[in-house]
Structure 1
């Protein structure tokens, strides 16, 4: 059973039942009106107000009027018993009316088959199957949730959870040698340790990635969509973002291995969206050879945009990587409209790589006009310098205005651009 707030009253009427109206009317007529008429006008006024509100809802036997009549009859019975005055009963009826109209609770049609908010941590536990596992977590929520479960519930005290974002890479490399010597498995929620590890070494071990130290094993991909909430679930924005990151990370891992169709299937879309995306993917694979195996969107900070914006951006980047320019650009542009700022920077890099200078210039003007997009502008400049295009990087830096919060990064990038432009 699932309870939720909703403006519709049809479900509540269905649960209460229209037949409950008759006992309420009988109590009202037989107990309140003939025997004690004092304050009866106020009681009838409250009941009439409930009928008016219900009539505006368009229901024949509305739930607010039904509950008002029941409360009037109940208060009338208390009044007859002498435990309360008539006016106090009327005011109690008014409070019941306000409570009913302010908070309406309905019952969901059908059973709730999953508990996605409670199952996300349990899903991560499915990957920790060996004694003494080590979990290198990059999501701060995973660190806090697992530590709380260990402290409050005694969950898997043998598992060592480490916040990998706050650890030095050299320390992690040294500790991995020690864990390997002790025979302990090392797993993480990031397949590349946030860009610090080459793509071929981890294995897809359910919801986590297992770093075996060898890339000779054939990867076996896990379908997590049967464990995750369906696209119709209404989750909190932070919870929906964590589920989306779980799927996008798997898509990037499969892309790095050159498994493009499996990468698209890892993204959390509805079946009808999968049909369109799979068709576009197959057309892109038939038209051109793949341009690159990596994603232009990562590694980096995860976007705070609401789901499925990040998944849409990843799907567009995958289509562009395989040559589906128009479809991929449309997906990235839609993701940018939904709040994924990195989507515009990725679109610029793909346009520059394809030689679409006019389209890239138009997208760069959008990036340069918004100060909040300065990290993406600097990322595009670094990409231009890396690909031996310092003059274009200098032109882009000259077109942006000052942004004090990013002054150190911008100054370092300007010096690197000047160094590339200077004669030998």
Structure 2
């Protein structure tokens, strides 16, 4: 088997284990906070929101620093560093005695995280250019599969073993993923040559990447994707309740709406990545942005649960084409030796979308309802489509002229 395929398979499982571990705590986080002594449910919900967001805040700050180090010393080192660090921190979360302990550990987890951007950078730099689309799509499907399965596995294990044991199991799985990456992932990387090229500070590196017009546009796509997804995500349960009423299986119905979108995303990502290798990632990105904006529209007008389910499934298909295409295009437009920084900055914008989306969505939903949030998401994606078209068209015109 080709080396790039072995790297892809190992890091697919690594991303699956990391993302499932990161999302396992979602179903029981407020309950774990109550176990730590916060018995008031409203206060526990506030703590849960702060603790959940803390990881994204520190990750947004730290990712560019790790990206600079990755470009200088290698991406495999960053995969191992982040995997081992998160395994330790996740295990320590099981020993928390107060919500403050858990908050500080979540902040630390954000500071040392970086498995996904490091894995993405490593795969992109060591995959033949003609296969970059399918590689990015397949890698994305691993992260999505982990995101889907994580809450389900976490809920089952919480019932079987209790809350604290989940952190110990999750830490062990992350450690296992790191060990596999250590032994089976190989990277073509010339550290001596890289040390000569990467003396730029983080700020200087960002300025250099920002000067390439296509990259800020692509970073913005990543932010918009996460913003569009996360701005409505916390309100989905209440929307489902509005559609079906106070039925006994409300939690299941709400969870299934999120799962069906993740399933279509997971299926579509490698398929659209393969199409990107044949027809061009730019075309797939534009079609995906347009399709995601269009499939937001029926969500505004749905009148029953099944209409919402179908609309979210279709929405997930087009979401599955965006991140892999963005990653492939980032690789195309990034100068050699700066891939780690480019993907880390992209990861920072992803974390920013995860942070801003739920916050702003929760603020706006009181004014315009969740149907209005869907409309805002559609408009933002269309604006982003126009911006990306202009920036990438300018690159093609410049290339043709030269």
TM-score, structure 1 length as denominator?
0.26
Q: Which has the larger radius of gyration?
A: 1
Give the structure with the larger strand fraction: 1
Please identify which structure carries the higher helix content. 2
Give the number of the structure with larger relative contact order, counting CA–CA contacts within 8 Å between residues 6 or more apart: 2
